[in-house]
Amino acid sequence: MQDISYDVRVYKTDAYKGKKTTTYYVRWKVGNRTWKKPFRNAAQADTYRGEIQAAARKGAAFSLLTGEPVSWNRVKRPDMSWYEFACKFVDMKWRNASAKYRQDIARALTTATPAMFANERGKPEDLLLRTAMRRWAFNTKQREEAPGDIADALRWLSANTNPVSALGDDSVLVRALLDTATSRLDGKRAATSTVLRNKIILQNALDYAVELKLLPANPLKGIKWKAPKPSHEVDRRSVVNHAQVRALLAAVEGQNPSGKRLVAFFALMYYAGLRPEEVVNLRDYNVTLPPPVLNEESGEWEESGEWGELHFAKAAPFAGREWTDDGTLREERSLKHRANGHSRPVPIPPALVRILRAHLAAPYGRAVDGRLFSGVRGGELPSITYRRVWAKARQEALTPEEATSPLAKRVYDLRHACVSTWLNAGVPPTQVAEWAGHSVEVLLRIYAKCIVGQDEAAKRRIAEALQGDDK
């Protein structure tokens, strides 16, 4: 049986107006069979109809199996709009992704999607579209609950994005998609961390398109693209010394209503090198303090000067209620760079022992569930609370020049100061890495510029070697 035909007739495009969207159907006949292909907008339909009509006028042979010109040599593949595909990718990732990674996926797809707009007729305002995508479309929990104007924006997106298959035939569109995904709203390149993260997410999405047979291969892999070089080193200017930390903690304590309950919070980052999400999730059973000793002369209990220990296996990074499975602000996860269930021991120096003992003895020292830190009204400690307290403490405790500098500008810089102190004290990097929850390689790369004195020691050794040669 012959599987080709030269008998081709192209019909007028049909427009079907549904309740929510209009679908455009290109219809043509090859031999005795009529073919029909749907498109989301008129421009796509007109382009495809024109290609079919041009091939028929040239007398091209048409396949009776696909309905398209044999010269196209196209394997008939399923197709899907970019918007539908992006939502499908989000849903596929949702179950096993952390709340933070769910947010990262939503941000990356929100940034990239404008490159796939088929047209701008009736397009909602840019801010509304971005909000609709980031908070609703690319959130499996929220999508079906989108309110009025958000739902209208999502309907426009559903009807006005190019098909995924367009990326398989158009390298210009692929590059535009990559450039858009790695740029800011003003068109300039985004921060290095954002660029690398968004590119990885976009590449993973297009790998999924290949898995769904929407694309024959990942088109990003054929694009020449130079990745920016990430810089993970800690800025030495951000590292505070012990005297500055004492002044900062005193400034924290004087603030109402949250100051007193947050002194130990910041102290745990400076003296024990914890991350904020690790401190937030600490329970009383994670803390082992040395017993106080009795002063026989005064008859009072005093600190022994011994060290204590922290031992914990969970952290609670802030994500937001709409991204967590249980609707809480924070998602409890295993420790960063640790397998699920693996714990991390950290020593507690005497200065921190005193601060923690005072905190545990205070009315706010333990929440009902044993957490060391909670909000003023109970419940989870909001990240905005401790960030505001820290910003005010910097203004009070530092000089005007220091306050405008990078010195301890972020709460996280207290952890950097702690790890830098350990390294400069001569603690072996393997031990510091264990306490800080890093690999040795990452530790030395991040804190390379914070280990003081090494350059001077190296210069002395070189000078001694040169003096030896002169003798």
Core vs surface per residue 413-443: b (16+ CB within 10 A) or e: bbbbbbbbbbbeeeeebeebbebbbbeeeeb
Spatial contact of 330 and 317, defined as CB atoms under 8 Å apart = yes
Confidence of residue 312 (pLDDT cuts 50, 70, 90): confident
- Whether the per-residue pLDDT at 87 is higher than 60: the answer is yes
pLDDT (mean) for 192-221? 93
Identify the top-confidence range among 129-133, 378-382, 435-439. 129-133
Q: What is the pLDDT at residue 1?
A: 41
Instruction: Identify the weakest region by mean pLDDT among 13-17, 70-74, 116-120.
Output: 70-74
Whole-prediction pTM value?
Answer: 0.68
Confidence of residue 41 (pLDDT cuts 50, 70, 90): confident
Instruction: Identify the weakest region by mean pLDDT among 132-136, 367-371, 403-407, 454-458.
Output: 454-458
pLDDT (mean) for 369-391? 90
- Whether the per-residue pLDDT at 92 is higher than 50: the answer is yes
Spatial contact of 222 and 216, defined as CB atoms under 8 Å apart = no
Does residue 257 have a cis peptide bond before it, meaning omega lies within 30 degrees of 0? yes
- pLDDT tens digits, 243-294: 999 999 999 999 999 999 999 999 999 999 999 999 998 999 999 999 988 7
Distance of CA 447 to the CA centre of its chain: 22
Domain 237-412: give its CATH architecture.
Orthogonal Bundle (1.10)
Instruction: Identify the weakest region by mean pLDDT among 49-63, 195-209, 282-296.
Output: 282-296
Which residues face 17 on adjacent strands? 22
